[in-house]
Amino acid sequence: MRRDDTASCAGLGCAGLVLLQFWVPVGYLLAAPVTVPALLAAQEPPVRTPPAGPLALVCIALLVAALVTWRAGHRVRFRPWLLLAQSVGLAVLSVVVALWVRSRAEPSALRMAQGDPKGAWAVVSEAETVAVMLVAVVFFLVVRRTSRTPPSRWAAGMRTIGPRSPRPGEIWWCEKALRGGGRKHLPCLVLDRDGGLARILWLNRWGNEGRGASVPVLDGAWNTRSRGLSSWVDVHQPNQVPLADFGRMMGPCPSKTWRLVHEAARAAAEGT
């Protein structure tokens, strides 16, 4: 099928227009603490800024900066102090950039406007808005890229680790064939690997300490979702499963549990 380049260009144009409709007002509002007093000063005669004006403009810039910061890092856990620090940083950076642009562009703008303060203000304010808008976009992308979503209580136990195969001492989700038919993902402790197979112990919710073969699996990074619920492995019942049956890693086995498993397995072997 022939690709419709016209439709693709139209789609990109619409997307760019939508983005500009958001970011241009953001740039203007972030630069407002600089552009609005300059506009009042450009009037004939100059208009004095109201006493509460600068504070109101700063508050507006902070609110806009907070919105940009929150949208950039909304996928991570909400941290008020981090949001406040990043918002203040963006607002201050925007004002500094706007002042820098004004100091550079104002002399040339006055010459272009033939000494007309309003004409010069229009040119300089547009330059300030564009510069601050670019700063806000870069800030947004940096915060978005550096923000990492901390694993939720469920995702911490089910995180994807990519194509790496299971290793001894790790707890994984693995498919298990059920007696009544069907298959289900259940947690297991990987003991060792041999080619395309792995020897494992299935985790369960009951144990038989009297036999000396049931070992409690202590809480750790593998079970942040079910912390506090008892889990056990029975060293008398190892199973071999194909590596293809493994799903996702839950986390490393606690070192104390790993040591107890080896001790119980050695005691069981000596008993037989």
CATH number for the domain harbouring residue 224: 2.30.30.110
- At 79-112, the pLDDT tens digits run 788 889 999 999 999 999 999 998 888 888 878 8
Q: Of 127, 146, 165, which residue sits at a domain end?
A: 146
- 172 & 90 share domain: no
| CB-count exposure of residue 80 (10 Å: 0-12, 13-18, 19+) | exposed
In 20-88, DSSP assigns E strands to none
Same domain, 95 and 226: no
Domain that holds residue 210: 155-271
Same domain (yes/no): 130, 217 = no
CB 244 within 8 A of CB 176: no
Same domain, 141 and 169: no
Q: Quick: pLDDT tens for 33-73.
A: 998 888 888 887 888 878 888 899 999 999 999 999 888 87
Please list, in sequence order, all residues whose beta carbon lies within 8 angstroms of the beta carbon of residue 131, skipping any fewer than 6 positions away: 27, 31, 97, 98, 101
Helices and strands of the chain, counted as H and E runs: 5, 7
- CA pair distance 109, 125, nearest whole angstrom: 10
Single out the residue in 146, 178, 196 at which a domain terminates: 146
- The reported pTM is 0.50
